[in-house]
């Protein structure tokens, strides 16, 4: 990029050509972590950095043949276990937060919308079927209307062929 294209280049007469502000807002590529997850992550970074410092001190004390070498090696091993625990804590905290608060991502929200539409369609179909059954039951219960009678000499469609019915 050339110096003049940046917009912040000084002109011949001084700083009169500056068109861009001091602070330029750019959209975030990723969203910010939730507070509990961020707290666990900061804790994990601090524990891991202390572990690295202890390991370095243990190495240097061992090379210097100091009496501090053995206690520092033991402390570094214990801190490694603690750092592993802290990293697992970040992972578990993130999973718990996602389950409790529900992360809306495009694929899952689309699937959720489709599921909601399917449920609504099934509910509407069940309601229509119930209404139809109510209408049939209501027609059968109405006074003054007799049930349809079989015509004389008419055999039901699925009746067995017997000489008595002919």
Q: Taking residues 99-118, what's their average pLDDT?
A: 73
Terminal CA-to-CA distance of the chain, rounded, Å? 102
Q: Taking residues 92-114, what's their average pLDDT?
A: 75
CB 20 within 8 A of CB 7: yes
- Cβ-in-10-Å burial (0-12, 13-18, 19+) of 51 comes to buried
What are the Cα distances from residue 42, in Å, to 2, 26, 28, 51, 88? Answer: 39, 25, 20, 14, 13
- Cα separation, 91 vs 87, in Å, equals 7
pLDDT of residue 116 exceeding 70: yes
Q: Tell me, what's the pLDDT at 22?
A: 80
Of 12-21, 50-59, 147-156, the least confident: 147-156
Which of 24 and 38 is assigned the larger pLDDT? Answer: 38
Which of 140 and 74 is assigned the larger pLDDT? Answer: 74
Which of 30 and 74 is assigned the larger pLDDT? Answer: 74
pLDDT of residue 99 exceeding 70: yes
Q: Tell me, what's the pLDDT at 26?
A: 79
pLDDT of residue 70 exceeding 70: yes
- Cα separation, 113 vs 104, in Å, equals 12
**Contacting residues for 10 by C-beta, under 8 A, at least 6 apart:** 17, 18
pLDDT tens-digit series, residues 138-166: 877 766 655 555 555 555 555 555 555 54
What is the reported pTM? 0.47
């Amino acid at each position: 990029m050339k110096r003049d294209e940046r917009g912040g280049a000084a002109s011949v007469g001084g700083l009169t050509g500056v068109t861009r502000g001091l602070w330029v807002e750019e959209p975030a590529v990723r969203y910010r972590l939730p507070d509990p997850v961020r707290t666990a992550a900061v804790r994990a970074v601090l524990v891991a950095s202390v572990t690295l410092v202890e390991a370095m001190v243990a190495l240097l004390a061992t090379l210097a043949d100091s009496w501090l070498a053995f206690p520092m090696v033991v402390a570094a091993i214990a801190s490694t276990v603690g750092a592993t625990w802290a990293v697992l804590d970040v992972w578990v905290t993130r999973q718990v937060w996602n389950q409790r608060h529900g992360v809306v991502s495009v694929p899952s929200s689309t699937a959720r919308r489709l599921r909601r539409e399917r449920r609504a369609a099934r509910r509407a179909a069940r309601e229509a079927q119930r209404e139809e059954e109510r209408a049939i039951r209501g027609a059968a219960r109405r006074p003054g209307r007799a049930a349809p009678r079989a015509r004389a000499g008419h055999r039901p469609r699925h009746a067995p062929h017997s000489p008595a019915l002919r």
